[in-house]
Structures are given as structure tokens and as C-alpha cells.
Amino acid sequence: MAPKLSDCLFCKIVAGDIPATVVHDTDDVMAFRDLNPVAPTHVLVIPKRHIVGADHIAAEDGDVLAAMFVAARAVAAADGVDESGYRTVFNVGAHAGQTVPHLHLHVLGGRGMSWPPG
């Protein structure tokens, strides 16, 4: 079951109720450093509008998805990983590692990545 917006960790960050290290901020999306990074660059890009996860995206959410990927590219450039390469990841559901029920795109870079991810 999805949390109420008032209980959503990422909605509280957007509202300014919980501090975060924000690295990119527009009208539609916010990007901030992950508290438990798995790479030198590990930033979460979230829509400011609450969407539970990638499995809750609707056709009318195309604009926010585009904004998320534009923000991811800006984050990668700002961190200097745009030319060496970076990974973008949506985790969908608990078994995939989604721990916060608010759509978020991980931007990972600054080290070699293996495939398949594990």
C-alpha cells in the first residue's frame, strides 16, 4: 500500500521538511545525493509530483519522465561522469530494491559498472 503524501519521505524532501543535498532543482524535478551511495556519483532524481513508482506511470506522465532524464544528464555533466559513462536505474518494487514508494531515478557513475547488475 502506498503511503499518504504526508508520510512520503521524498515528498517531505521536496517540501523542505527533511534536509537533502540538492544538486539540481527545477519546477518539475529535484535531484539530491543518496544517503547510502554505491558509487562516487549516486544521485536520486525525483518528480516533485508524487508518483508511487515506475509501475504507476501513466501516459500523461511523459513530460515528467523527460524532465527526469534531462536532470540525470545535467547531474552527470556536473559530476564529470558524462563522458566516462553513467548508469540510470529505476527499481520497481521491493524485490528490485525500491525502498521508498515515490518514483526515483538513480544516477550512478564514477566507477566501472559490471553487467549484469546484481
What is residue 5's predicted lDDT score, i.e. its pLDDT?
62
User: Domains of the chain (ranges plus CATH)?
Assistant: 5-83 (3.30.428.10)
Residues marked active site are found at: 104
Dig out the grid coordinates for 72 from the structure.
Answer: 540525470
**Dist CA 4 CA 43 (whole Å):** 24
Edge to edge, the sheet with strand 41-47 lists 22-25, 29-33, 41-47, 105-109, 86-89
Residue pLDDT, tens place only, 25-57:
999 999 999 999 999 999 999 999 999 999 999
HSE, side-chain direction, 13 A CA sphere, residue 80: 3
Residue pLDDT, tens place only, 69-118:
999 999 999 999 999 999 999 999 999 999 999 999 999 999 999 998 86
Q: What is the largest CA-CA distance in the chain?
A: 40
